[in-house]
A and B are shown apart, each in its own frame.
Chain A
Amino acid sequence: MIVAHFNLAWEVLSRTPALARWPVRQVMLKQLYFTGTESIVTISLVGFLVGLIVITQINNLVGRNEVMTLQIMIWTIVRELGPLLTAIVIIGRSSSAFASELSSMQVNAEIKSLRRMAISPISYLVLPRVYAMILASITLTFYFQVVAISTGWIVTKMRMDISLSSQIINFFEIISFNEIAASLLKSAVFGMLVSVVSCYHGLRRKSAMTEVPQAVSQAVIRSLLAVFVGDGIITVLVF
């Protein structure tokens, strides 16, 4: 099964030129709106709460040690929680939606109908979803980190009376390019993993509507698993 996922991912990448086709770009824009724009409220809320919770715990742990506070904030929010929690929100919203939509199309013979119009379901359905999810994952991760870190700075100012300007200057002195790059790499890989796993389970051969919920739950569980495994591998390799 893992090989089949890799095959699908490879097929998607090799069909990238199909993005030049207008209907494929239309699907990508729709998916970008659904996965990206419509997730902003949830990501804002989760980012704010994570910033509040994490920084409160850090303040309790290290007190008024500003450098240590910022260092732990980068370790937790930039390196780990940003990409991971964004991926979890995306899985909750889009993984299940991808799997159920594609499964229903499979059961209703719409996938067959596309093939009969000489339209590749991989190019028309999977490719735009994968690229939309990668783009949305990178953008939402960055946005999540901005919200969580800004909340952290404000909470630190209120609780520890450390000025905002000092925190911002020190933050940009401490954070390295590698940390930002690794965070973006993680979010891109998570986007790829979640979309490929979800589309794979959506497109698997089905004969009845009763198989759709099974496909959805498998897509969600396996996407979560793939993200945690991917996170483990990237973290060990990069940090």
Chain B
Amino acid sequence: MLQAGEIRVLKVASEEAKTTVIDLALGELLPSKGEILLQGQTLDAHKPGSVGLIPAMGGLISNLKTWENITLPLWYHGSRQPQSAEEVVSRWLLELKIDKQEWEGFMAKPAARLKPWERKMAGLLRGLLLAPRLLLIDAGLFEESEAAHTESWISTLEKFVSESAHSAVLVVTSMPILLPWETIERS
């Protein structure tokens, strides 16, 4: 049971099982029986603001710039004003300990030219900006990342859930991974 304000790690048996869990939560697959509940209510994954995913490599669109990638779902679904989005992203960039002078270059860079950790961070920022009720994270996000980056991403996620009245974070992994959150194992 995942409550608002919590972060849990879900360890599943294989990479396929991880994809299935993510697809089920996002409504890409339908459960063969039963229903998926999110904080006690039936999950409507297609409702904007319900479930968000941070893919392992950020899930960016290569012909868009970083800023366009981060704000794409918000603007597509028309759920936030650009001014407000800028404020939220600036706040999380500060939290992620990114130097203010680097912001402009990072945001204007096409996704295809980003380094792997920058792609991951853009995906993370997109998830934080969306602030869905359930933020799913592919644990690949933390794999092969520098310790300093992993540390700042972990503390940012903790700040995100502690400040949010309705959001929870679920990290899905198929590999043993060292994260500071309670792990639920499912074979």
Write the residues of chain A forming the contact surface with B, with a CB cutoff of 8 angstroms: 21-24, 101, 104-105, 108-110, 113-119, 124
Residues of chain B in range 129-152 having any CB-CB distance to chain A below 8 Å: none
Chain B residue with the shortest CB-CB distance to A117? B73
A110 adjacent to B28 (CB under 8 Å): no
Assess whether A119 is in contact with B55, with CB atoms less than 8 Å apart: no
For B60, B61, B75, the residue with the greatest tally of chain A CB atoms inside 10 Å of its CB is B61
Decide: B46 and A22 in contact? CB cutoff 8 A: no
Tell me if B110 is interfacial: C-beta within 8 Å of chain A: no
Please indicate the chain B residues that have their CB under 8 angstroms from the CB of A116 in the complex: 22, 26, 28, 53, 55, 59
Question: Which of A110, A113, A117 interacts with B76 by CB under 8 Å?
Answer: A117
Q: Among residues 19 to 57 in chain B, which have CB atoms less than 8 Å away from a CB atom of chain A?
A: 22, 26, 28, 45-46, 48, 53, 55
Secondary structure type dominating chain B contacts? loop
The CA-CA distance from A119 to B178 in the complex, in Å, is 33
Distance of A109 Cα from B138 Cα, bound (Å): 15
Contact of B62 among A21, A24, A108, A115 (CB under 8 A): A108
Q: Which residues of A contact B60 (CB under 8 A)?
A: 110, 113
* Cβ B53 vs Cβ A23 within 8 A: no
Q: Tell me whether B180 is interfacial, beta carbon within 8 Å.
A: no
Closest to B45 in A: A118
With a cutoff of 8 Å between Cβ atoms, the chain A residues found around residue B28 in the complex are 115-116
**A105-B62, A110-B62, A117-B76 are known contacts; what are 7 more A-B pairs with Cβ within 8 Å?**
A21-B75, A22-B76, A23-B68, A101-B63, A110-B61, A116-B28, A118-B46
Count residues of B near A (Cβ-Cβ below 8 Å). Answer: 20
Q: Which of A21, A23, A101, A113 contacts B55 (CB 8 A)?
A: A113
Nearest Cβ on chain B to A224's Cβ, whole angstroms: 26
Please give me the residue from chain A that is nearest to B59 by CB atom.
A113
In the bound complex, residues from chain B placing their C-beta under 8 Å from that of A124 are 76
Q: How many whole Å from B91's CB to the nearest CB in chain A? A: 22
Closest residue of chain A to B126 (Cβ to Cβ) is: A117
Q: List, in ascending order, chain A residues with CB within 8 A of B68's CB.
A: 23
A119–B72 Cα distance when bound, in Å, is 9
18 A-B pairs with C-beta separation under 8 A: A21-B78, A22-B75, A22-B76, A22-B78, A23-B75, A23-B76, A24-B76, A101-B63, A105-B61, A110-B59, A115-B28, A116-B26, A116-B59, A117-B59, A117-B73, A118-B48, A119-B73, A119-B76
Tell me if B77 counts as interface (CB < 8 A to partner A).
yes
Residue of A22, A109, A118, A124 most packed against chain B (CB within 10 A): A118
Residues of B within 8 A of A22 (CB): 75-76, 78
> Whose C-beta in chain B lies nearest to the C-beta of A113?
B59
Of A105, A110, A113, A118, the contact of B77 (CB 8 Å cutoff):
A118
Instruction: Give the docked Cα–Cα distance between A110 and B133 (Å).
Output: 24
The answer for the CA separation of A109 and B19 in the assembled complex, in Å, is: 13
When chains A and B are docked, how far (Å) is the Cα of A124 from the Cα of B77?
A: 11
Bound together, the chains give a CA A48 to CA B153 distance in angstroms of 60
Give A44 to B48 CA distance when docked, in angstroms: 46
Give the nearest-CB partner of B71 in chain A.
A23
Could you tell me if B76 and A21 are in contact, using CB atoms closer than 8 angstroms? Answer: yes
Pairwise interchain contact B61-A113, C-beta atoms closer than 8 A = yes
Chain B residue numbers with a CB within 8 Å of A104 are 62
A119 CA to B45 CA in the complex, in Å?
12
Closest to B55 in A: A113
Report B27 CB to chain A, min CB distance, Å: 8
Residues of chain A within 8 A (CB-CB) of B45 are: 118
Please, which residue of chain A has its CB at the minimum distance from the CB of B22? Answer: A116
Flag if A118 contacts B73 (CB, 8 Å).
yes
Report chain A residues within 8 Å CB of B22: 116
Determine how close the nearest CB of chain B comes to the CB of A10; give it in whole angstroms: 22
Residues on the A chain within 8 Å of B62, using CB: 104-105, 108, 110
| Distance (whole angstroms) from the CB of B31 to the closest CB of chain A | 17
